[in-house]
Amino acid sequence: MPLQPGDKLGPYTVLSLLGVGGMGEVYRANDTKLDRQVAIKVMPEALARDPERLARFEREAKVLASLDHTNIGHIYGLVDSTESRGLVLALIEGPTLADQIAVGALPFEDALRIAAQICDALEYAHDRGVVHRDLKPANIKITPDGVVKVLDFGLAKVLEDEPSPGALMTNSPTLTIGHTRAGTILGTAAYMSPEQAVGRPVDRRTDIFSFGAVLYEMLTGKRAFTGNTTPDVMEAVVKFDPDWSLLPAGTPPYLRRLLERMLTKDRKQRLQAIGEARIALENPEWGKLQLAADLQSAQSAPSRFGKIATAVAALSTLAAIGLSIGYYRATRPAELKPLVRLDVDLGADHRPAGSST
């Protein structure tokens, strides 16, 4: 049963419900000790009784506590009452990115400014071995001062500390099956990576794909991958490309290329580090240089192949000539040597052997 205004959680007094997610309800509350407002993420009672779910909830607290960055929502501590358990979080005022996109596509400059801050937050987390794995507009807030806050690392994977398999938990549209091992699915369908959609192990490149889907949506006002049902959306993530024609007129070629690289299905061919995206977004001229380099590389590939083919053909020809010369030498008749005439004076009294006179 949801908490009501006036309910107590330790020193916190509930003021209102802020939202509901896959891992519990989020409430605005008043900290009576420090006289400040906070956000409390409360685990549903049914889940609090499950040791696996409780352990995961506590892991979220530890992950959040390890991430101290301007663009990541902060955690103040844990609250544990007789009826509820929860995380005490910094209260972030302002709309979510999903709220802003619901009005329409963001102005180009606003989209790039927000995107660069998201990259900065992800780069910081990735450098510390943490993958968000549920990046989406609803998990991103923008303060009245324009500061981006990435929220809800509840599905984050700490790369050095892979947890054991857990029980089934499915929330739509957020899918949360098991924990972080191979063969499980976590994330929100429209923003998950292809490897997530098929239950393969994930890494930093999963967040890069999700970020690409978020940036595409900021620029177009439309989701990159859609479908009538969650399985349809997951199929689109795995098989289909976004509709690139929806990008606004005047989108710089380098930005289109950046999106294509981030939304590549094969993660081996995908952009490998979110920091590269941040640099391109913060320095458009660098992005243009990278695009030029990519195009030059693609155009020179046939030329390089042609040079290699020519060299191979030349070597083959030389080899054939060498074999022919060797064969000729081995099979031609032996040369006739010129006769040598030798005259020797044996003297007048010399008689040939067998002569009777």
pLDDT tens-place string over residues 12-33: 999 999 988 766 789 999 999 9
Domain boundary among 90, 108, 134: 90
Give domain status of residue 50, yes or no. yes
Closest CA to 126 of 210, 59, 203, 200: 203
* Domain co-membership, 241 together with 273: yes
* Domain co-membership, 86 together with 103: no
Q: Enter the tokens of residue 65.
A: 């506590």
Whether cis (ω within 30° of 0) applies to the bond prior to 11 is no
Coil, strand or helix at 280: helix
The CA distance from 37 to 14, in Å, is 10
At 41, give phi and psi (nearest 5°): -95, 110
pLDDT in tens, the chain (357 residues): 788 999 999 899 999 999 887 667 899 999 999 999 999 988 777 677 778 877 877 877 888 888 999 999 998 988 887 767 888 999 999 999 999 999 999 999 999 999 999 999 999 999 998 999 899 999 999 999 999 999 987 666 655 444 443 333 333 344 443 333 444 455 689 999 999 999 898 899 999 999 999 999 999 999 999 999 999 999 999 999 999 999 999 999 999 999 999 999 999 999 999 999 999 998 877 767 766 666 566 556 555 545 555 554 555 555 555 555 555 455 555 555 565 565 656 566 656 555 555
* Domain co-membership, 242 together with 108: yes
* Domain co-membership, 40 together with 149: no
Give domain status of residue 331, yes or no. no
Give domain status of residue 348, yes or no. no
Q: Please enumerate in sequence order all residues whose Cβ is within 8 A of that of 69, keeping only pairs 6 or more positions apart, or say none.
A: 120, 121, 124, 125
CA triplet 7, 11, 14: central angle to 5 degrees? Answer: 30
| Residue-range definition of the domain harbouring residue 15 | 8-90
pLDDT tens-place string over residues 135-163: 999 999 999 999 999 998 766 665 544 44
* Domain co-membership, 62 together with 179: no
User: With b meaning 16 or more CB within 10 Å and e meaning fewer, what string describes 128-164?
Assistant: eebbbbbbbbbbbbbeeeeebbbbbbbbbbbeeeeee
Range list of H helices, 222-283: 230-239, 253-262, 274-282
* Domain co-membership, 280 together with 188: yes
Overall number of domains in the chain: 2
Q: Is 134 a residue of the active site?
A: yes
**Residue of 7, 120, 134, 349 marked active site:** 134
* Domain co-membership, 44 together with 159: no
